Amino acid sequence: MKRFAELYSAIDATNKTNEKVAAMVQYFSTAPPEDAAWAVALLVGRRPRRAVNSTKMAQWATELAGIPGWLFGECYDSVGDLGETISLVLPPKGQPGSEVPLHEWMEHRLPELAKVLEDRQRELLTHYWMELDQAGRFLLNKIIGGAFRVGVSQELVIRAIAQASALDPPLIAHRLMGEWIPSAEFFKSLVSPTDEGESVDSRPYPFCLAHPIEGSPSDLGPIEEWHAEWKWDGIRAQVVKRGDRTYVWSRGEELITERFPEIEGIGSWLPNGTVLDGEILAWQGESPTRFGELQRRIGRKSVSKQLLAAVPVQLVAFDILEFEGKDLRQLELRERRRILNEIGNQAIANVRISPTVFADSWEALANEREASRSRNVEGLMLKRLDSPYLVGRKKGAWWKWKIDPLTVDAVLIYAARGTGKRAALYTDYTFGVWDGDRLVTFAKAYSGLTDEEIRQVDAWVRRNSVEKFGPVRTVTPELVFELAFEGIQLSNRHKSGLAVRFPRILRWRKDKPYTEADRLEDIRAMLTQLESEGISD
């Protein structure tokens, strides 16, 4: 635990990518495999469930520190992070005990902590706190509170493991895909130079991801070198058929086969050793429906016959990664598409091949893109015809050319502290729009401002707070921001009666008084207009 706490502190202490990678390389090169496996799991985001209620943690820490509740509250308000506050207020560690390794914490101590009764839970947690130093306590609090986050991407973790094991990053990325249990055996297989035990029938491939296009599409060169297709608005997925079984994986490496039996059924038409990459979409007739329909099936472990009938789905396949057991990822896209189209000629139920959007110039393609909303798509994907299927988000091969978002000018009405490095700043905002002569909550947004703008808004929030509700402050309605979002629909769960998709801050409207922010009646009219044009969320 101490060694992993030191790694966590080293990563948290720098913004330099190479320093973070170097710290992880050192850890993976020296840590026992049973600990390294759990470190990998935590670093790539496979966090355990919350083991202890955060309110109880704060209460027990306050009592152990011997301070009044109001003082703990002030400390929390100043620090902005519960786990760090607890680690700072606790008395010095007691007598040092034997060093408990990370895997012992993750496999025995924390599971026990989660299932015992409250009195025993308090006893155990107090004992754990007192045997750890401040860095160890901070790490423990983040893990048991279900808030463990660290400033490294999965790509950086893969790079570090690859350097520590002298293997290629794509191989490490592939071995990390799918379901696995942290163990010494798993980590040894992860860094093994041989392919012994490499065949895992259910394992998908790492997804190839696109960057937003930079500049004009015409800067990419001749249009003849590019393949254009619609950017579908659904669930990115891989359909894997091996060993006479079919597996459906989401981009988040979640096995979703049982949730989409129609997609699982595609496997009965495919030969063993086939992997398709595509998008799961709610589908009616000859076109996809809005994403809001698909949301009715997202998150459900089992789907009723009524819902299957009400929201049918299809896979729109746009790439093939494996065929008859052969890895096709290094083939050019034009060749992979040829193979994919041959499969599509079989007229397989519930699967469509993503069609090419043809245009003889970038200007003509831009005109095609203008029809995106009426098709319930997000824009266009541009892919080099000679590109292989890469791992992760690499520039140059795939670009997403999305349509301009919908926008609304809204007023900042609530602010809350952020998390991680922004835990001491007010970075999480709630915005309102006018409904008659009052502001009603419309959307929350957490991104879009520069670091300097965040500092300015944070200082303004502190000067203009009206009320405090726990970590949230009501502020004087004054600041106006232009919010961007991808879709809008009616919702009974929101005070405004509307819900928007992927809201973010587009710009700070310092030029606009709060009285001129958008009105709810105008936003509803926007929704009505979109629906009348056949355009929906």
Taking the C-alpha atoms of residue 254 and residue 264, their distance in angstroms, rounded to an integer, is: 14
**Can you say how many angstroms the Cα of residue 343 is from the centroid of all Cα atoms in its chain?**
32
Give the start-end residues of each E strand in 289-396: 313-323, 326-327, 351-353, 377-384, 392-393
Count each helix (H run) and each strand (E run) in the chain, helices first: 20, 22
In 3D, which of 243, 153, 259 has the Cα closest to residue 202? Answer: 243
The per-residue pLDDT for 22 is 96
pLDDT at 77: 77
Tell me the sheet residues that pair with 434.
Answer: 439, 519
Beta strands in 298-437 (DSSP E): 313-323, 326-327, 351-353, 377-384, 392-393, 398-402, 406-417, 426-435
**Per-residue confidence of the chain (537 residues) as pLDDT tens digits?**
889 999 999 998 888 999 999 999 999 999 999 999 999 999 998 878 888 988 999 999 999 999 999 999 888 877 878 888 999 999 987 655 568 999 999 999 999 999 999 999 999 999 999 988 888 999 999 899 877 888 888 899 999 999 999 999 989 999 998 889 999 999 999 999 886 555 688 899 999 999 999 889 999 999 999 999 999 989 999 999 999 999 999 998 888 998 999 999 999 999 999 999 999 999 988 888 888 788 888 877 778 888 998 999 999 999 999 999 999 999 999 999 999 999 887 778 899 999 999 999 999 999 999 888 888 888 999 999 999 999 988 889 999 999 888 899 999 999 998 876 677 789 999 999 999 999 999 999 989 999 899 999 999 999 999 988 877 899 999 999 999 988 888 888 888 888 888 899 999 999 899 999 999 998 988 888 777 655 545
Report whether 21 contacts 163 (CB < 8 A): yes
pLDDT at 199 (0 to 100): 63
- Asked whether the CA dihedral 137, 143, 146, 147 is positive or negative, the reply is positive
pLDDT of residue 188: 94
What is the C-alpha to C-alpha distance for residues 147 and 153, in angstroms, rounded to an integer? 16
Q: What is the pTM of this model?
A: 0.76
Distance CA 514, CA 478 (A): 5
pLDDT for the residue numbered 42: 94
Q: What pLDDT was estimated at residue 532?
A: 63
Predicted pLDDT at 274: 96
pLDDT recorded at residue 286: 83
CA 162 to chain centroid: 23
CA distance 446 to 225: 38
pLDDT score for 94:
64
pLDDT value, residue 420: 66
Q: What angle do CA 425, 428, 430 make, to 5 degrees?
A: 135
Asked about 395 being catalytic, the answer comes back as no
Which residue out of 20, 142, 231, 383 is catalytically annotated? 231
Q: Which residues, 6+ apart, have CB-to-CB distance to 511 below 8 Å?
A: none
**Tokens 């130079």 correspond to what residue?**
193
